[in-house]
């Protein structure tokens, strides 16, 4: 079954409002004819201005994190409805940097995913093993646990627009990309876990992105793999020229 590619930039803690709006101005016409979905996960402050700038384009603006509560005394946190009001249409959840530096566990990530789905903002759930996990042959165990615990209580009926991003932690920001064979094989495994949890129909339809040092030089061979349906890109999504090349990898 043909799944539409999503090329998603994750800007992390980069770009002021001025830089973000200049970026979307620079790419809008360059990516306008792409058949691929074009996503940018921007800092909270840039969501409103970037989504206003891209209102009549195919560029979709989203956030990099959210809390699962509707509101409350949670200093520094942000709620789904606040993101949606600002113009975010998707949200990255459980990125390895959130897991590692802000102690997010699968239970918290699961609450966020459920909130995102019920609030109608598309979640991109990130999973991935560390180098230690891979060297100890724990990759599949870790991924199965991350996926099943992060998606607990959901059903094929309400999993809706969920996207998965497989990002080996050892490949993020390191310049080391998984070989296409390793990436494809691990995507197949993630899809098989989705099948175990939600059945074959969801497994065939769900979009699974690859992330970890994706760049214009390697995007084409990664996207040529059967089970890789797009990319979640950090470093190479910070420059307009490079991001445009990623989006237009098939042109």
Structure tokens at 93: 């959840």
Q: State which residue has the least CB distance to ligand PGA.
A: 234
Burial 150-183 (b: 16+ CB within 10 A, else e): bbeebeeeebeebbbbbbbbbbbeeeebbebeeb
Closest separation in Å from C-beta 248 to ligand PGA:
17
Of 161 and 216, CB closest to ligand PGA: 216
Total chain residues near ligand PGA (CB under 6 A): 13
Check residue 62 for interaction with ligand PGA (CB under 6 A): no
Binding positions for ligand PGA, 176-215, rule CB under 6 A:
211-214
Query: Is 167 a residue of the active site?
Result: yes
Residue 5, φ and ψ in degrees, nearest 5:
-70, 145
- CB-based contact 26:240 (threshold 8 Å): yes
Check residue 94 for interaction with ligand PGA (CB under 6 A): no
Query: Is 95 a residue of the active site?
Result: yes
Closest CA to 148 of 182, 192, 117: 192
Using CB under 6 A, pick the residue from 113, 234, 243, 247 that binds ligand PGA.
Answer: 234
Binding positions for ligand PGA, 123-182, rule CB under 6 A:
167, 172-173
Question: What span, in angstroms and rounded, lies between the C-alpha atoms of 193 and 175?
Answer: 28
Closest separation in Å from C-beta 155 to ligand PGA:
28
SS3 category, 91: strand
Check residue 233 for interaction with ligand PGA (CB under 6 A): yes
Please list the active-site residues. Answer: 95, 167
């Amino acid at each position: 079954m043909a799944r539409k590619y999503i090329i998603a930039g994750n800007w992390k803690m980069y770009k002021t409002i001025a830089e973000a709006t200049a970026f979307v101005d620079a790419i809008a016409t360059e990516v306008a004819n792409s058949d691929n979905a074009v996503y940018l996960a921007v800092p909270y402050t840039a969501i409103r201005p970037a989504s206003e700038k891209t209102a009549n384009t195919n560029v979709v603006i989203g956030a990099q994190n959210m809390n699962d509560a509707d509101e409350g005394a949670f200093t520094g946190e942000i709620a789904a409805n606040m993101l949606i009001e600002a113009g975010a249409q998707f949200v990255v959840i459980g990125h390895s940097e959130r897991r590692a530096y802000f102690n997010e566990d699968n239970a918290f990530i699961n609450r966020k995913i459920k909130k995102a789905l019920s609030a109608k903002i598309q979640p991109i759930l990130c999973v991935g093993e560390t180098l230690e996990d891979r060297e100890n042959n724990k990759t599949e165990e870790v991924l199965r646990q991350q996926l099943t615990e992060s998606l607990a209580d959901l059903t094929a009926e309400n999993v809706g627009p969920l996207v998965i991003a497989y990002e080996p932690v050892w490949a993020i920001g390191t310049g080391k990309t998984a070989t296409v064979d390793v990436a494809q094989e691990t995507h197949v495994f993630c899809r098989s876990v989705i099948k175990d949890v939600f059945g074959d129909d969801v497994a065939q339809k769900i979009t699974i992105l690859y992330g970890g040092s994706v760049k214009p030089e390697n995007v084409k061979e990664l996207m040529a793999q059967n089970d890789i349906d797009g990319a979640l890109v950090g470093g190479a999504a910070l420059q307009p020229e490079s991001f445009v090349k990623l989006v237009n990898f098939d042109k």
